[in-house]
Structure 1
Amino acid sequence: MDLGIAGRVALISGADSGMGKATARLLLEAGVRVALTDVPGGTLDEAVSELGALGDVTGVTGDVRDTAQVAHVWATVRERLGAPDIFVNAAGVTGATGDFLDIDDKGWLDTLDINLMGAVRMCREAVPAMRERGWGRIVLFASEDAVQPYTDELPYCASKAGILSLAKGLSKAYGGDNVLVNTVSPAFIATPMTDAMMRKRAKEKNVSFDEAIASFLDEERPGMALKRRGRPEEVAAAVAFLCSERASFINGAGIRVDSGSVFTIAG
């Protein structure tokens, strides 16, 4: 299917691995010129090298917690590729976990600063040029946790609920300028973040990595009917669609890519 976005420019945060990198791959295959950004010290250079054969791709390091670094990322991308028509916010962390009463203010604030305020800072840079051109696509990564919170990771859940509200508000504010803002909510995808979770679980339960995944699905995610972790490319397909001309009447919406994990029809 032709996505109708060949020649557009996209910026993807949290793009050195997992769902962000998988999204970059699909957008490059659709003819989009893509900039990847992630924190220094990661695998951004490797991601750019891996994807380079697919099209015009560049990498810029930066930390979404720092307003100056965010501004630098956007300025660099504008200089190299032009102002992005598409912004995908995949940057995020699990953050502070544990019993609610054991998580201090710093744990909450650090999680919110990356997951929610990081998206706010990036969107502030994204919107003006999109409005000026009368075309833009913003896709923010939320989570099943946004509408189905889990008691041992409440800062993460709250940050992702904030993402849903942010996206809905932006969609109302700028949809009239043809800047369309939507969310994708994955559940338990095979990424470095969930790999780390499962290694920790395997060690705590003295079981294998695969056994940790199986027990997690049975005990913690019983609604996931397919009984497996999702693949990054399965999430990326939904993101790429929302970035495309094919999604030209979708605004303020959310797509769950969660194997049925969320039990309710609401949210």
Structure 2
Amino acid sequence: MDLKIKGKTALITGADSGLGIETAKFLVREGVNVVLSDKKYGKDLQQAMKQVEKNCEKGAKTMAIAADISKNDEVLHLADTVEKEFAGAHIVFHSAGARGAAGDFLNLTDDDWMKTIEIDLMGAVRIARAFIPQMQNLGWGRMILVASENALQPYEEESPYNACKAGIVNLSKCLSRAYSKENILFNCISPAYIETPMTDAMMKELANEKNVSEEEAVQWFVENKRPHIAMQRRGKPEEVASVVAFLCSEHASYINGSNVRIDGGAVESAFG
């Protein structure tokens, strides 16, 4: 399917792995210029860029820039660089985030909460604030923020993450009401238990705790911690990326303010 976005420019945060890199591959195959960004310009981001470059078609160009989304000056520098190199971003897929502090609610400190909020909620605020003006100047925009099943079906040991992701759903809806008349559309996605470095780390930790293989840890986690995943498996990053790519396209021109669940049926309620 031709997504009708050839020649546009996309910024992807959290681009050195997982959802970010897979979405970048989809977009460059459609002829979209992609700026990949992550916290550090290290080996992972450089390798990600090489992988994405192999998928470039229709004249697509790529660039990699480091930016820590918890620091406003770095986000502003990122936006300035994108504007100088590509005249601005038409598309933003903000996938950077972290699980943050987890555990018993009464044991979590203010510092635990604030560290999670600075990344998972304020990171999205900073990115939106920096790139909406570029979309206004370009007269066209798509911004997709990453929420989570946790926003709709929270898990008791992840209260800061739950709250931040619920905030992302609300933020996306708020922005969709504010800027859609300027042809800028905002949506968010709520993935559940996808094969990403974050869930890999969780499974490695669980495997060590239970003295089992990581594969066995995954199966235990699905059966005991995510029993509502009807498909009984982890999702694949490309299964999420294909949905994101569609939301970036001209074909999604009447989807605005939505939260798209990509969760294998993980959210138990029909109306979550």
TM interval, short-chain normalised: over 0.9
* TM-superposition CA deviations, 1:164-188 (whole Å, max 9, x none): 0000000000011110000111000
Task: Name the structure 2 match of 1:16.
Answer: 16
Task: Name the structure 2 match of 1:25.
Answer: 25
- Residue 229, structure 1, aligned to residue 241, structure 2: no
- Residue 85, structure 1, aligned to residue 90, structure 2: yes
Name the amino acid aligned to 2:32. V
* TM-superposition CA deviations, 1:183-228 (whole Å, max 9, x none): 1110000111111000000111111111100010001111111111
Supply the distance in 1 between the matched residues of 2:247 and 2:46 (Cα, whole angstroms).
Answer: 27
Question: What stretches of structure 2 of length at least 5 have no aligned partner?
Answer: none
Task: Name the structure 2 match of 1:169.
Answer: 174
Supply the distance in 2 between the matched residues of 1:243 and 1:254 (Cα, whole angstroms).
Answer: 14
Task: Name the structure 2 match of 1:48.
Answer: 49
Task: Name the structure 2 match of 1:214.
Answer: 219
**Pairs within 5 Å for 1:96-107:** 96-107=101-112
Supply the distance in 2 between the matched residues of 1:134 and 1:249 (Cα, whole angstroms).
Answer: 16
Shift of 1:10: 0.2
- Residue 249, structure 1, aligned to residue 254, structure 2: yes
Shift of 1:41: 5.5
8 A contact 2:83–2:134 mirrored in 1: no
Shift of 1:132: 2.7
Name the amino acid aligned to 1:168. K
SS at match of 1:63: coil
Task: Name the structure 1 match of 2:186.
Answer: 181
Supply the distance in 2 between the matched residues of 1:40 and 1:131 (Cα, whole angstroms).
Answer: 29
* TM-superposition CA deviations, 1:77-135 (whole Å, max 9, x none): 22222200000100000000000001101110000100110000000111112123321
Supply the distance in 2 between the matched residues of 1:258 and 1:9 (Cα, whole angstroms).
Answer: 28
Give the count of matched residue pairs: 267
Shift of 1:49: 1.5
Match for residue 62 of structure 1 among 61, 67, 82: 67
Tell which deviates more after alignment, 197-206 or 38-47. 38-47
- Residue 121, structure 1, aligned to residue 126, structure 2: yes
Shift of 1:2: 0.7
Tell which deviates more after alignment, 130-139 or 147-156. 130-139
**Structure 1 length-normalised TM:** 0.98
Tell which deviates more after alignment, 52-61 or 16-25. 52-61
Percent of residue pairs identical = 49
SS at match of 1:176: helix
Question: What stretches of structure 1 of length at least 5 have no aligned partner?
Answer: none
8 A contact 2:88–2:138 mirrored in 1: no
**Structure 2 length-normalised TM:** 0.96
Shift of 1:66: 0.7
**RMSD (Å) for aligned C-alpha atoms:** 0.9
Supply the distance in 1 between the matched residues of 2:79 and 2:133 (Cα, whole angstroms).
Answer: 12
Task: Name the structure 2 match of 1:149.
Answer: 154
